[in-house]
Every structure is written in C-alpha cells, then in structure tokens.
Amino acid sequence: MNQTQVAQLIKDNYRALYLMAGRVANCPMVQSDQFSWVNNQHIWPNRIYGLNLKEDLAEDVLREMVQGMASGELPEIITTSMFTKPKNYETIFARVGLEKKFEAAGMALDLTQITWPATKSPEVTTSFTIKIVETEEEINAWCSVVMEALFEQPIHRMEAYRKVIAQLIRRQEIRCFMAKHGDEVVATSMLYRSAPDIVGIYHVSTLKAYRGQGIGKEVTRVPLIHAKELGCRIAVLFASKSGESIYRQLGFESYCAFGRYGLAKAKNE
C-alpha cells in the first residue's frame, strides 16, 4: 500500500473507534459529510473530526463551530489530517481563533513481519506483569492511570470515562491491557480491531514514577502479539514526538501527521 492508503487506514480506524465509543456512551454526537463530532462531558470520547468543508463556506462554518466550542456545546478539540478540507484550513483556523495544541504521527506496522516470540498472557517482563483487563476493579484502576498519566484530568471526571470503557471491553473488538508492579496498575493500552485484519493501539500511558523503564513499550508490544495471533495484518497508532522513537523500535513507520486544534488563548493569558 502507498502512503495515502495507509493514512486512510489510520484515519478510518480512529473514526470507527470514536463512532463506537460515542454510541456506547450515548452522548451527543453528529455524523455528516461536512464534519463529525462526539462530546462526552469533556472527557474521551470528545473530538471534532472529518472536516470536509468547501473553501468559500469554511470560515462561516468554523466561526459558528468556535462559538459552540467556547460554550461547551461542541468538543474542545478539532482533529485534522492530510484529508482535511479545505487544504488551507490552517490559515482559516488562525482567522477564527483556533491554534494548534498538539501534533501526532500516524504510524503503522506490518504485523506479518514481526518476529517476537509468542507469549502467554499474563506476560511477566522483569518485575512487571501485563494482562488483559477483566474485572470491575481492574477497569477502575486502568481508568485511573489513563486519567492521571495520559489525560492529566482530575479524578472527579473519571466516572463518565469509566462508564464508556466498562461498556467497550465487553465488545469483541476491544481489549484493554494493563501493566502491574506488584498490586499496582502502572501502565495501560487499548487494542481496537476495526476490521478482520486491522487493529489500532490507543490510550498508551505510564505513571510518571515508572517511566523510562520500557514499560510503555511492553504494554504496546503485548497487544500487538495478541493481534497477530488473531490473524490481524496491520497495526496503526498515533504517536507523540517523544513516543515516536519508541514505536519505531517495535517496527512502526510514520506515514502521516494528525493535528489537534483548540481555542486560541487570549493575548493577555
């Protein structure tokens, strides 16, 4: 597959996960040819994505969107990709009061090429155990780590998120993995199978006290082995600049970039 085809797979996996999560959460959501959004009380899933606007109408649509973002009616973040239209969206974003908050690399891995040994779950890596999340207690601990280490959100916002995850892990397409140090959950990841041969890795997080020990790499590697054993062929994910090198060590390659835009800060802030 060429770069555009792989980028499309990454985008489609992301979109399908948000659709599923939004429906499970039963939260306000819109799917249209112009744009889509899911808004779960300002916690995941909460994104505007799939912008496909005509250039002559884009500024008016985006100004109205910014008003909705400011009021809380719409999610706080717009996700962009190489498929976002109009192509000059960055110029229009700046005019309507949006600024880039984050950029991620869209990465993919050919699972048929990996040669890591098959492992049993739970897998013990030095003093850490990695296993699939199953019980209510494990769900709560998993969500708590994601809230602290990935979202950096106060714990009082966790309930809306926990309800979504508790529903998602009942589905055949979703598996959540956790790394434990003794009895403490210290790292997380999610595997989402959007098609028989396509999986995405999401919500990779490690508590600050346990970073730099290779746990994030292992809590990504184990789901990939799981996916290969299921017969999946391609794995995709989004990587921050700091995480990209770690995923390259696992064999991932970068194919595209995804941006996250939010309301621009006032000049006096």
**What is the C-alpha to C-alpha distance for residues 231 and 223, in angstroms, rounded to an integer?**
13
Q: What is the pLDDT of residues 236-250, one digit of tens each?
A: 999 999 899 999 999
Q: Taking all residues of the chain, what is their mean pLDDT, rounded to a whole number?
A: 93
Domains, the chain, ranges and CATH?
3-106+259-263 (3.40.630), 110-255 (3.40.630.30)
pLDDT higher than 80, residue 119: no
Buried b (16+ CB within 10 A) or exposed e, 104-121: bbbbbbebeeeeeeeeee
Stretch 76-88: mean pLDDT: 97
pLDDT at 120: 46
Percent of the chain past pLDDT 90, that is, above it, reads: 88
Percent of the chain past pLDDT 70, that is, above it, reads: 95
pLDDT higher than 80, residue 208: yes
Read off the pTM. 0.93
pLDDT higher than 70, residue 123: no
Cα 191 to the center of its chain, rounded Å: 10
pLDDT higher than 60, residue 124: no
Nearby residues of 106 by Cβ (< 8 Å), 6 or more positions away? 6, 7, 10, 11, 81, 236, 238, 254, 255, 256, 257, 258
Q: What is the pLDDT of residues 128-159, one digit of tens each?
A: 899 999 999 999 999 999 999 999 998 888 99
pLDDT at 2: 93
Check the CA dihedral 146-28-72-57 and report its sign: positive
Q: What is the pLDDT of residues 36-59, one digit of tens each?
A: 999 997 799 999 999 999 999 999
pLDDT at 121: 43
pLDDT band for position 1 (50/70/90)? confident
* Residue found by looking up tokens 């959950």 in the block: 185
Pairing of the two strands 36-40 and 98-110: unpaired
Stretch 213-218: mean pLDDT: 91
